[in-house]
Chain A
């Protein structure tokens, strides 16, 4: 709170201006100073709240305003003293937009696809990252550091650097060994199927889960694993029946972050489903973009669709904020 500098006696010079007197007071009086810090703190906090939340308010305003009034464009509000102030407020209460969103395009199918893709990817990532987390966290073997760095390095390359060969392979073209020209085999045509998205998602988002699970699995005491082994469980059995359940918070963290990442992904989601149609497993991205490309003037529907699409993430953040915070920092700072 207050510093140890002695609160000097107030200089009561009457010829000082009010601002100067106030500044001098703040500089010398610890009480006033901490009140100033307090006030500044609240101003800054409110500023951050407004800037992060205002865009969502704007979506709500647009969704509730009938479309005809949106294009009119005057968003000023009369305020008693200041006159007309630019501040958007809903022009009406058109809840029907939230129903229309599902009638215009099958938006629920897009969201359903997103959920299927995100859930499947999360399960695959949890299983594979558990194996790797167990190995990196609990076993000593030559090459451990190098392999961890390899996982790390691969995960940072841009998806664009993987796109072209993956797209070719998912179209069903033969896989050729780079630089040798040797054709290995022709994969099945995977574009427009969940596999064409789940595979890249798993590879892209697995490294973060590996790092989270490595940290958690390393903390389980050896004694617990040994006890399970004495009971007759295999090493893998001990991993999935003892270590994984005991690391439930870490597993949940990895699951939440993977789910969010897949649900929010854009690059492969928009490319691997060729026509962005729900029958081709196009996720949320396709649903939102179809409003932008097909119903180019239905601004209220674009906003309503965005609100519907954002709700699952909103709920997840409120429920799992601790997990998100710890997972993000663990992945980056490796504490």
Chain B
């Protein structure tokens, strides 16, 4: 990368010839704008090759059928198939894209089994539930870490550790914890009716529950750290003022802590939402994509047989996440990028 700068320096001032020196001199003579774009070239080449090109190409592929053998242009046909349910038989297992709408017209209009089979519904349910609990528990952890006490450093290590472990090991831990034979929790939870007693990790609602718990366990730490950063940026003298004014702890929390930590909380929730909607590895290692069909799962399990349809799902996933990304960009823009 930085071979340019090695050849010059005071000692080699005399040997000003050769291609390397010529390049160095050319770079030094570039204006600030030119130099900036030159240095950004490798970064954007990589991002272009690994992100931008695939994204555009995915969109193109999503307009074709039978991509591998004899590509046939179908326009938005794959998307139409996806949203009308025509594509559902091409998915593995009993997975559908949208939840089946029950014909009886009774509340809640969809039955739970249908909801659990739908890629879109499973992803959204997982995202909403896990982010909700991560926010609440993360807030609690942040409040604990915000206090001064002996051993704070070690409590913080303990809280961060789940965040830092590989997804496949996180999956393995929960696989072993809820496995019908090896796990110790399965019988107990099954007697409460929370999970299926047999074949727990292949049962859609049981495994969705387990995957959600596993995700909450691992990523709450991220939420806690972001909220903690927000808490620590609060001016402590505000609390002194509040105390003098006679506010109790609940009032201090409600009137100072919460409103001031709200911006960091918002960012943290957006980040987690974006991340949760990409869920794949955890599902693949705890359960299977047929039991918990998230959107990313559907892409992976169909792309070897049906590139066009898989591309359409991938692009829809990117679109849904794009909405959340717009939220982040708006936030950054408002802060004056």
User: Do B329 and A152 touch across chains, with their CB atoms under 8 A apart?
Assistant: yes
User: Do A318 and B156 touch across chains, with their CB atoms under 8 A apart?
Assistant: no
B164: contacting residue among A59, A152, A313, CB under 8 A: A313
CB-CB under 8 A from A157, the residues of chain B are: 51, 55, 318, 321-322, 325
B280: contacting residue among A148, A168, A267, A305, CB under 8 A: A267
Q: Does A164 contact B (CB under 8 A)?
A: yes
User: Whole-angstrom distance between the alpha carbons of A334 and B226 in the complex?
Assistant: 11
User: Do B164 and A260 touch across chains, with their CB atoms under 8 A apart?
Assistant: yes
User: Do B176 and A303 touch across chains, with their CB atoms under 8 A apart?
Assistant: yes
User: Whole-angstrom distance between the alpha carbons of A142 and B35 in the complex?
Assistant: 12
B residues in contact (CB < 8 Å) with A:
1-2, 4-5, 8-10, 13, 24, 27-28, 32-33, 35-37, 39-40, 42-44, 46-47, 49-61, 140-141, 144, 147, 149, 153, 155-162, 164-169, 172-177, 179, 181-182, 184, 187-188, 217, 221-222, 225-226, 228-230, 233, 243-244, 246-249, 264, 267-268, 271, 274, 277-278, 280-282, 284-285, 295-296, 299-300, 303, 307, 310-311, 313-315, 317-318, 321-322, 324-325, 328-329, 332-333, 335, 337
**B173, B221, B226, B274 — which one has the most chain A CB atoms within 10 A of its CB?**
B173
User: Whole-angstrom distance between the alpha carbons of A335 and B51 in the complex?
Assistant: 27
Chain B facing A: main interface SS: helix
Q: Does A185 contact B (CB under 8 A)?
A: no
CB-CB under 8 A from A317, the residues of chain B are: 157, 160-161, 164
Given that A131-B1, A157-B322 are contacting pairs, would A165 and B169 also be in contact in the complex, using a CB cutoff of 8 Å?
no
Among residues of B, the one whose C-beta sits closest to the C-beta of A232 is B10
CB-CB under 8 A from B244, the residues of chain A are: 4
In the assembled complex, the CB of B220 is this many whole angstroms from the nearest CB of chain A, namely 8
Among residues of B, the one whose C-beta sits closest to the C-beta of A37 is B249
11 contacts between A and B (CB under 8 A): A3-B247, A73-B184, A131-B43, A132-B39, A140-B32, A145-B337, A158-B317, A235-B35, A236-B5, A285-B281, A302-B176
Given that A5-B246, A86-B188, A162-B50 are contacting pairs, would A62 and B182 also be in contact in the complex, using a CB cutoff of 8 Å?
yes
CB-CB under 8 A from B158, the residues of chain A are: 48-49, 52-53
User: A121-152 vs B: 1/0 string, CB under 8 Å?
Assistant: 00000011101101100011110110111111
Q: Does A45 contact B (CB under 8 A)?
A: yes
**B4, B54, B149, B317 — which one has the most chain A CB atoms within 10 A of its CB?**
B54
User: Do A148 and B156 touch across chains, with their CB atoms under 8 A apart?
Assistant: no
Query: Which of the 9-residue segments A218-226, A247-255, A324-332 touches chain B?
Result: A324-332
In the assembled complex, the CB of A90 is this many whole angstroms from the nearest CB of chain B, namely 12
User: Do A328 and B222 touch across chains, with their CB atoms under 8 A apart?
Assistant: yes
User: Whole-angstrom distance between the alpha carbons of A199 and B28 in the complex?
Assistant: 30
Among residues of B, the one whose C-beta sits closest to the C-beta of A75 is B184
User: A20-60 vs B: 1/0 string, CB under 8 Å?
Assistant: 00000000000000000100010011001101110110110
User: Do A159 and B284 touch across chains, with their CB atoms under 8 A apart?
Assistant: no
User: Do B182 and A70 touch across chains, with their CB atoms under 8 A apart?
Assistant: yes
User: Do B166 and A149 touch across chains, with their CB atoms under 8 A apart?
Assistant: no
CB-CB under 8 A from B217, the residues of chain A are: 51-52, 55
User: Do A149 and B337 touch across chains, with their CB atoms under 8 A apart?
Assistant: yes
CB-CB under 8 A from A151, the residues of chain B are: 43, 47
User: Do A263 and B166 touch across chains, with their CB atoms under 8 A apart?
Assistant: yes
Given that A49-B158, A164-B307, A321-B156 are contacting pairs, would A288 and B168 also be in contact in the complex, using a CB cutoff of 8 Å?
yes
User: Whole-angstrom distance between the alpha carbons of A321 and B284 in the complex?
Assistant: 29
User: Do A325 and B160 touch across chains, with their CB atoms under 8 A apart?
Assistant: yes
CB-CB under 8 A from A86, the residues of chain B are: 184, 188
**B4, B155, B176, B317 — which one has the most chain A CB atoms within 10 A of its CB?**
B176
User: Do A202 and B176 touch across chains, with their CB atoms under 8 A apart?
Assistant: no
User: Do B160 and A178 touch across chains, with their CB atoms under 8 A apart?
Assistant: no
User: Do A284 and B166 touch across chains, with their CB atoms under 8 A apart?
Assistant: yes
In the assembled complex, the CB of B65 is this many whole angstroms from the nearest CB of chain A, namely 14
Q: Does A14 contact B (CB under 8 A)?
A: no
Given contacts A161-B315, A332-B226, A332-B271, 7 further A-B contacts (CB under 8 A): A3-B248, A52-B158, A157-B318, A203-B50, A234-B5, A266-B282, A313-B166
Q: Does A172 contact B (CB under 8 A)?
A: no
B53: contacting residue among A165, A167, A333, CB under 8 A: A165
User: Whole-angstrom distance between the alpha carbons of A171 and B4 in the complex?
Assistant: 34
Q: Does A289 contact B (CB under 8 A)?
A: yes
CB-CB under 8 A from A147, the residues of chain B are: 40, 44
User: Do A59 and B173 touch across chains, with their CB atoms under 8 A apart?
Assistant: yes
User: Do A127 and B166 touch across chains, with their CB atoms under 8 A apart?
Assistant: no
User: Do A158 and B172 touch across chains, with their CB atoms under 8 A apart?
Assistant: no
Q: Does A96 contact B (CB under 8 A)?
A: no
User: Whole-angstrom distance between the alpha carbons of A166 and B55 in the complex?
Assistant: 10
Given that A3-B248, A234-B27, A285-B168 are contacting pairs, would A52 and B162 also be in contact in the complex, using a CB cutoff of 8 Å?
yes
CB-CB under 8 A from B313, the residues of chain A are: 160
CB-CB under 8 A from B225, the residues of chain A are: 325, 328-329
User: Whole-angstrom distance between the alpha carbons of A166 and B181 in the complex?
Assistant: 39
In the assembled complex, the CB of B201 is this many whole angstroms from the nearest CB of chain A, namely 11
CB-CB under 8 A from A334, the residues of chain B are: 332, 335
User: Do A160 and B267 touch across chains, with their CB atoms under 8 A apart?
Assistant: no
User: Do A264 and B162 touch across chains, with their CB atoms under 8 A apart?
Assistant: no
Q: Does A191 contact B (CB under 8 A)?
A: no
CB-CB under 8 A from A280, the residues of chain B are: none
Q: Does A210 contact B (CB under 8 A)?
A: yes
